[in-house]
Structure 1
Amino acid sequence: MKKALVLLGLVTLGGAASAQTLQANLGATFGGLGTGVHVGVSVLDLANLGGLALDGRVSGDFRPNSTSLNVDALLNFPTDVLNLYGGVGVSYNLSSSVLGFGLTGGLNFPVTENIGIYGEGVLRLNAPTSLRAGVTFTF
């Protein structure tokens, strides 16, 4: 069931991505499960909710003793200087077989038209909290 949920998220985002802008994330993850690498792909502007763009993201947190796959739905709150975002997500830890739910909030500061710097926090309901920081590249 848990693996099916992650696969469903990947297939859904993959199908939607054909007509949308993609954004790749590469950074570090820090928290109760240790330090590691965060890699993700976002599909931007999946829907418009009251003038706010809804993005979908599939990502992975790769740590020496723990690997998690994540699927997030994120609302964007753009400002003149940076983009704020927040939303809900599901995480599946491959190392412990735990399915988690959480809230993500962060900011993305555009450096160029295609490159940005991001920082975010993830509050998980049944797993340790994580902080992430890194770079984004928009295709």
Structure 2
Amino acid sequence: MAVHSKNEALMYKVFPSSLGPVAMGWFNSLRTNSINSYRQLTQAFGSHFVMNSKAPRPLSTLLSLSMHNRETLKAYSDRYWEMYNELDGSFGDVAISTFKNGLPIEHSLRKSLTGKLATSVCLLMDRINKYKRVEEDQLQGKGKEKVIP
């Protein structure tokens, strides 16, 4: 494409082939004759998608996460995995230890992970899900009154 960069008509025709579904939707929604040059097209594209993009987060943001007082395991794990997915890079091994270290010392999942460490992110997520189900059952049980026959 660098060879043909001076040929605006060709560049404009080839541009859509590099777009994913979201960007293609944006491209197709442009009004007819609203773009007068390839440069204007790339500027419009850049200004639209730069405003809607997030910069990757550094690993240090994951290291600072911890479970808040009275926060459910579900809420903490949702927040944790959302942050994990915004990291720039793959940190599976770090995810296991930082998730555990973010739990309160007395939390049963932390004790479980200390006794038998999960060896992969998938195993960690399985263990988290088991403890989330137990927590949900306990929370549902507190809301019910016992009826004595």
TM over 0.5: no
Larger radius of gyration: 2
Identify which of structures 1 and 2 has the higher relative contact order when contacts are C-alpha pairs closer than 8 Å and 6+ apart: 1
**Structure holding more helix per residue:** 2
Q: Under a length normalisation based on structure 2, what TM-score does the superposition of the two structures give?
A: 0.23
Which has the larger strand fraction? 1
TM-score scaled by length of structure 1: 0.24
